[in-house]
Amino acid sequence: MKFTDTLRYAADAATGTPLRTGLLMLAMSIGVAAVVILTALGDGARRYVIGEFSAVGSNLVIVLPGRSETRGFNPANLITSTPRDLTVNDASAILRLPGVARIAPILIATSEINAAGKLREAMLLGTSDEYIHVRQQKLALGRFLAKDDLGHGSAEVVLGAGIRREIFGSANPLGKTVRIGDRRLRVVGVLSEGGQGMGMTTDELLIVPISIAQAMLNSNTLFRILVEARSREQIGEVKASVLKLITQRHEGEEDVTVITQDAVLKTFDKILGVLTLGVAGIAAISLAVAGVLVMNVMLVSVTQRTAEIGLLKALGATSAAVRQLFMAEAILLSLTGGLLGLALGYLGAACLRYLYPSFPAYPPLWAVLAGLATSLASGLIFGVMPARRAAQLDPIQALTKR
């Protein structure tokens, strides 16, 4: 029997019972659609989180004082137990390293802003002019801090959008003087609304030159140094050289921690990847159920078509040919159902994206292929038994049954 004839015959047999075939394909397509949509959700969550993290700034290496790991008792700890401060000079030194594009030192404290007769508590952030590029943030008004040589900043401030709204309302704050702590600073710019990063909103920030912040807080230490590598490939190299440099500058004491955004991202990537796999597994259960349904339908079909099977054998069909006919039908049913489900799943994912535009609910390719493969495999596996039963039918008994 020719392959195309086998397919044609199986397709005829399937369309001969439209309701049963339709219901079966519905079940199969729901299974596949569930896999597609759920993995689209899981993978969408992964992409969403990664996207949010990337907004912090790309190619970022973050230096923080103190060691994150403990190494047990060390005689050196007896002599120098407190970590040295991370200073502006450390930051300047890092900037001279190869592979470093920009740096932004960071000092954070809570402070009060007093202007236009209003007093408000806010987060004070001392940094340099490069900060806005490193963190990839946008300005709504004016300009960012002027370029300085880390330590000679002028008395100016950039306001977060929330602070600006609460203190100045809709009035133009540029050029106005505000009082922060015991200093009078001129407003030069306003950040745009909704900036996110490192777990906090930028709407509540007061950004001042690092020297002003240090003077206000009477402190010489830094909270963080953000280092931007020239390219993604250089992140590892920059991380190593930064650590080496700081260790040298701190008299051989490795008292800083250098983390890369990559490491954080990878962790999230892994967690959400596993989550996606988990939901895909749950969805696959519905596929297995659909597979059992395929078997049931095919068994009923064999019983109903007993006479036909007997006839085929009398007309010279080998057992193998009969088996192939029924296998072809099972595979055809499940594959068509699978493709239908794929269409349904993509439609569902598209609906999700339409409803939540910021959520990238695209089903990953592996899930699509796995869904299709599972539907095909369930057709194969659950088609074997009915097909064998059909092939083993005794033609005489099959023919005498009316």
User: What is the closest distance, in whole angstroms, from the C-beta atom of residue 330 to other proteins in the complex?
Assistant: 18
User: What is the closest distance, in whole angstroms, from the C-beta atom of residue 300 to other proteins in the complex?
Assistant: 16
User: What is the closest distance, in whole angstroms, from the C-beta atom of residue 322 to other proteins in the complex?
Assistant: 10
Helix pair 306-314, 261-304: axis angle to 10 deg: 80
Residue 9 sits in the site that holds other proteins (CB under 8 A): yes
Q: Which is nearer to other proteins, 24 or 317 (by Cβ)?
A: 317
Residues 6+ apart with CB under 8 A from 314: 395, 399
User: What is the closest distance, in whole angstroms, from the C-beta atom of residue 314 to other proteins in the complex?
Assistant: 5
Q: Which is nearer to other proteins, 16 or 278 (by Cβ)?
A: 16
Question: Of the ranges 6-14, 151-159, 216-224, 240-248, which one interacts with other proteins (CB under 8 A)?
Answer: 6-14
User: What is the closest distance, in whole angstroms, from the C-beta atom of residue 302 to other proteins in the complex?
Assistant: 15
> Encoding tokens for residue 97?
């390293």
**Total of chain residues touching other proteins, rule CB under 8 A:** 25
Question: Of the ranges 84-92, 123-131, 157-165, 309-317, which one interacts with other proteins (CB under 8 A)?
Answer: 309-317
Instruction: Report the C-alpha gap between 151 and 148 in whole angstroms.
Output: 7
Residue 321 sits in the site that holds other proteins (CB under 8 A): yes
CB 235 within 8 A of CB 58: no
Residue 19 sits in the site that holds other proteins (CB under 8 A): no
- Residues 358-397 binding other proteins (CB under 8 A) are 395-396
Q: In 3-state terms, what secondary structure has residue 330?
A: helix
Kindly tell me which residue out of 271, 282, 320, 350 binds other proteins, with binding defined by CB under 8 A.
320
* DSSP secondary structure letters along 266-297: HHHHHHHHHHHHHHHHHHHHHHHHHHHHHHHH
Question: Of the ranges 59-67, 76-84, 261-269, 302-310, which one interacts with other proteins (CB under 8 A)?
Answer: 302-310
Q: Which is nearer to other proteins, 9 or 359 (by Cβ)?
A: 9
- The residue assigned the tokens 């408000």 is 120
Residue 2 sits in the site that holds other proteins (CB under 8 A): yes
- The residue assigned the tokens 């600073």 is 185
Instruction: Report the C-alpha gap between 108 and 158 in whole angstroms.
Output: 14
Residue 319 sits in the site that holds other proteins (CB under 8 A): yes
Residue 402 sits in the site that holds other proteins (CB under 8 A): yes
Residue 164 sits in the site that holds other proteins (CB under 8 A): no
Q: Which is nearer to other proteins, 76 or 314 (by Cβ)?
A: 314
- The H or E element containing residue 166 is helix 161-168
Q: Which is nearer to other proteins, 307 or 380 (by Cβ)?
A: 307
Q: Which is nearer to other proteins, 321 or 376 (by Cβ)?
A: 321
Question: Of the ranges 100-108, 131-139, 318-326, 380-388, which one interacts with other proteins (CB under 8 A)?
Answer: 318-326
196 bridge partner residues: 201
Kindly tell me which residue out of 36, 317, 332, 370 binds other proteins, with binding defined by CB under 8 A.
317
Alpha-carbon Rg for the chain in angstroms: 34
Residue 312 sits in the site that holds other proteins (CB under 8 A): yes
- Beta strands 156-159; 205-209: pairing state: antiparallel
Alpha-carbon separation of residue 187 from 66, 112, 142, 167 (angstroms)? 34, 15, 9, 12
Binding characters for other proteins, 251-290, by CB under 8 A (x = yes): ----------------------------------------
Instruction: Report the C-alpha gap between 84 and 107 in whole angstroms.
Output: 16
Residue 112: how many other CB atoms lie within 10 Å: 14
Residue 311 sits in the site that holds other proteins (CB under 8 A): yes
* DSSP secondary structure letters along 120-154: EEEEEEEE-TTHHHHTT--EEEE--PPP--SS---
CA atoms within 13 A on the CB side of 327: 14
> Encoding tokens for residue 182?
């015991």
Kindly tell me which residue out of 109, 217, 288, 307 binds other proteins, with binding defined by CB under 8 A.
307
Judged by the rule CB under 8 A, the positions of this chain that interact with other proteins are 1-2, 5, 9, 12-13, 16, 307-308, 310-321, 395-396, 399, 402
